[in-house]
Structure 1
Amino acid sequence: NMFLHGKDSARLEWGDTLNNPLLVENDHLMKFDNIVANPPFSLKKWGAEHTEADKYKRFWRGVPPKDKGDFAFITHMVETAKPKTGRIAVIVPHGVLFRSGAEGKIREQLIEENIIDAVIGLPAGLFQTTGIPVAVLVIDRSREKGGANEKKKDIFFIEASKEFKPVKAQNVLEEKNIEKIYDTYKKRKDIEKFARSVEFKELEDNDFNLNITRYVDTFVEEEPVDIKANLKELAELEPQLQKLEKQMAEYLKELGVK
């Protein structure tokens, strides 16, 4: 992906990020200003059994399920983002936002650390390998204690699942869709049925569930049916129907059809 986008001057390593990270200096994990990632969704057998021996002590928030590696990757990213300044944008399946158990506890810990900045729901069908809808989880370590943005206490939700153009077997985010999402995120203003800022207390009341539809109401009410008007219209159409039936019977008679 880096080569395809002309980024050939960076240090690239090919290996097992979770069990044997290679971006290491002086026996410590390298720290980064910005991290952007699209890790494998719900990776099975990611190496949960090796976490106790992790020399970098990355999994102090808890160990994700052995058959779902999503939070293992997220944990690694948080631990490699620069403290008090690093930022992360990671694409995740929606299950990351609401699954309970070990994942729920890790999610709660990240929220209590105040570093989850935004959750952006994207359309389904963006990837050729899977049709499931995904979300972008934005993590900002400048919000942690001592960081420049530690006073920010909300999480900003954007429900952008309708922002796409269907193209053959795949949905595509056009420039206008990306601009709308980005502009909404930067302004951080509530928009009915699209975006909403949610404070810690409401998140706590919802057991730290980050499912977007809990906070952004996308329900569209159907127009009420006027039964009297419909009955009146049917009554008015009845004479026309009888006339048509009579004409049809005459045509069939002329054709010799009984």
Structure 2
Amino acid sequence: MNDKINQDSINKALWAACDTFRGTISADTYKDFILTMLFLKYISDVWQDHYDGYKAQYGDEPELLDEMMKTERFVLPKGASFYTLFQHRHEPGNGERIDQALHAIEEANGTKLKDAGKSVFQDISFNTDKLGEEKQKNTILRHLLEDFAKPELNLKPSRVGTLDVIGNAYEYMIKNFAASGGQKAGEFYTPPEVSELIAELLDPQPGDSICDPACGSASLLMKCGSKVRAHHNSKNYALYGQEAIGSTWSLAKMNMFLHGEDNHKIEWGDTIRNPKLLDKNGDLMLFDIVTANPPFSLDKWGHDEAEHDKFSRFRRGVPPKTKGDFAFILHMVETLKPKTGRMGVVVPHGVLFRGSSEGRIRQQLIDENLLDAVIGLPEKLFYGTGIPAAILLFKKAKNDDKVLFIDASRDFKAGKNQNLLDEASIQKILDTYKTRTSADKYAYLASLDEIRENDYNLNIPRYVDTFEEEQEIDLMTVRAEREQLKTQLTKLEAEMAKYLEELGYGR
């Protein structure tokens, strides 16, 4: 099957493959199996495609072909390909064979699929009791291998074309798992429109180092990288990230690999309790761009250790025990380069106005003139929560001592369960941010003195007045309309009585 295929066909075939698991285990569990199998199928198809290409060019010379394949971006050990697993699918032990294949691929590809000793497939096992007893598990995995062997999921480059097709399919699957994943969904994925907006606002440049300290599946991080390629035709940038959840860290690593992002470093661990992105002196690394969509108001974020933080991240104050929003903000601010550092972070609205320790931290950041803009977003944009959020933009070297407030909360395309930021809404925000001017009922450029007068409260309605005056009601017109309606009603009642009488109901 050598015909070209469109993105939608691949996406639909992948989503249909999930039927193998539905009703047996939860989506939160089977997403790892589906996404890992997509990864294995893709690298097997690429390897086979290139091997067949060399074979057609140089003939059936196994030693020469093996030598040619050593120049590939990755290594696929013998016996570890999807095709071998598919051939043996009717035999017992599918789970064990798949796990062994993944382990062999990991070992053969060194740092591409590992970071600091942690391997990508460490938290993913196909040989698990979650799939039921041995016989049931073997049958489910046989169905899964057969799903991915279908012609629609022939992912060979000679058929699907660019690498982006696979990266996009991966993103599509992650998005769908997030959309159907309930409360935990937002933990690993930022909606693509929000990632697009943040990446454009931060305007990454060639040579920039870009970091997401709560990177999830790395979608936001990679969106920033893609902007350097799109706007400057350059791959001269470096991506850094950290993720606390092991299986999500694995998704990020595979996501990077499938998008061809080899210049990256994604660490596994808790950014607040144990930051891993350190320089050779053991200090926090500094970046040109830091961006994140951290978990909203995280409970048990590491309050007890914060007071004695060896990196002094909480010198402006320790955030409350049950709300970790400012813990992430303070960590991010500390990792900005002194001249080029700029930052975008997604926060719940409470961050803008809550008092006590959060109020004192907010005051410090504003007095230091680090806050650049506050952008209010529509509700129901994020997976797993209906609450509206805001984007805070910070800059280390600002050109003025003002803060731009934008109220974009009413600009969205309504969806069934999820609202969307459309292109026009994104462009309006970008244009307003670039011109940095006030706009009636939409944006206001506030001085630091105005913010101080508001007791450092950043609640957007304090600065952007969106109140719409109701039109004055002409009571005489209303009275005339009422009299007219009364006359019409009397006439209709008389007609109705006449009809009823004709039908014999009038007596």
Q: Give the structure with the higher percent helix.
A: 2
Q: Confirm whether residue 69 of structure 1 aligns to residue 317 of structure 2.
A: no
Structure 2: which 5+ residue stretches go unaligned?
A: 1-216, 219-251
The residue that corresponds to 1:227 in the other structure is: 475
Please list, as runs of the form range in 1=range in 2, the aligned pairs for 1:42-191 lying within 5 A after superposition.
42-143=297-398, 149=399, 152-191=400-439
Instruction: Kindly provide the amino acid, as one letter, of the partner of residue 28 in structure 1.
Output: D
Which residue, out of 211, 215, 219, partners 2:459?
211
Return the index of the structure with the highest Cα Rg. Answer: 2
Q: Which moved more, 1:14-23 or 1:4-13?
A: 4-13
- Match of 2:297, SS state, is coil
Instruction: Kindly provide the amino acid, as one letter, of the partner of residue 349 in structure 2.
Output: H
Tell me by how many angstroms 1:8 deviates: 4.5
User: What is the alpha-carbon root mean square deviation over aligned residues?
Assistant: 1.2
Q: Which moved more, 1:2-11 or 1:73-82?
A: 2-11
CA distance in 2 between partners of 1:129 and 1:8 (Å): 31
Instruction: Kindly provide the amino acid, as one letter, of the partner of residue 72 in structure 1.
Output: A
CA distance in 2 between partners of 1:168 and 1:35 (Å): 33
CA deviation map 1:30-56 (0-9, x unaligned): 000001100000000111110122111
CA distance in 1 between partners of 2:488 and 2:358 (Å): 65
- Match of 1:67, SS state, is coil
The residue that corresponds to 2:240 in the other structure is: none
The residue that corresponds to 1:248 in the other structure is: 496
Instruction: Kindly provide the amino acid, as one letter, of the partner of residue 16 in structure 1.
Output: D
CA deviation map 1:79-134 (0-9, x unaligned): 01112321000000000000000000000000000010000001111112111000
Q: Confirm whether residue 20 of structure 1 aligns to residue 274 of structure 2.
A: yes
CA deviation map 1:183-234 (0-9, x unaligned): 1100011110001100111111100000001100001111111111110122
Scaled by the length of structure 1, the TM-score of the pair is 0.94
Instruction: Kindly provide the amino acid, as one letter, of the partner of residue 236 in structure 1.
Output: Q
CA deviation map 1:130-174 (0-9, x unaligned): 11000000000113xxxxx3xx11100000011211122111111
CA distance in 2 between partners of 1:10 and 1:122 (Å): 30
Instruction: Kindly provide the amino acid, as one letter, of the partner of residue 229 in structure 1.
Output: T
Question: 2:307·2:318 contact (CA, 8 Å) conserved in 1?
Answer: no
Question: 2:347·2:392 contact (CA, 8 Å) conserved in 1?
Answer: yes
The structure, 1 or 2, with the larger RCO (C-alpha pairs under 8 Å, 6+ apart) is 1
CA distance in 2 between partners of 1:236 and 1:48 (Å): 69
Tell me by how many angstroms 1:256 deviates: 2.2
Tell me by how many angstroms 1:15 deviates: 0.6
Scaled by the length of structure 2, the TM-score of the pair is 0.48
The residue that corresponds to 2:263 in the other structure is: 9
Structure 1: which 5+ residue stretches go unaligned?
A: 144-148
The residue that corresponds to 1:146 in the other structure is: none
- Structure 1 runs (4+) greater than 6 angstroms displaced: none
Instruction: Kindly provide the amino acid, as one letter, of the partner of residue 13 in structure 1.
Output: E
CA distance in 2 between partners of 1:159 and 1:52 (Å): 35
- Match of 1:197, SS state, is strand
CA deviation map 1:58-81 (0-9, x unaligned): 100000000000000000000011
Instruction: Kindly provide the amino acid, as one letter, of the partner of residue 60 in structure 1.
Output: R
Tell me by how many angstroms 1:14 deviates: 1.4
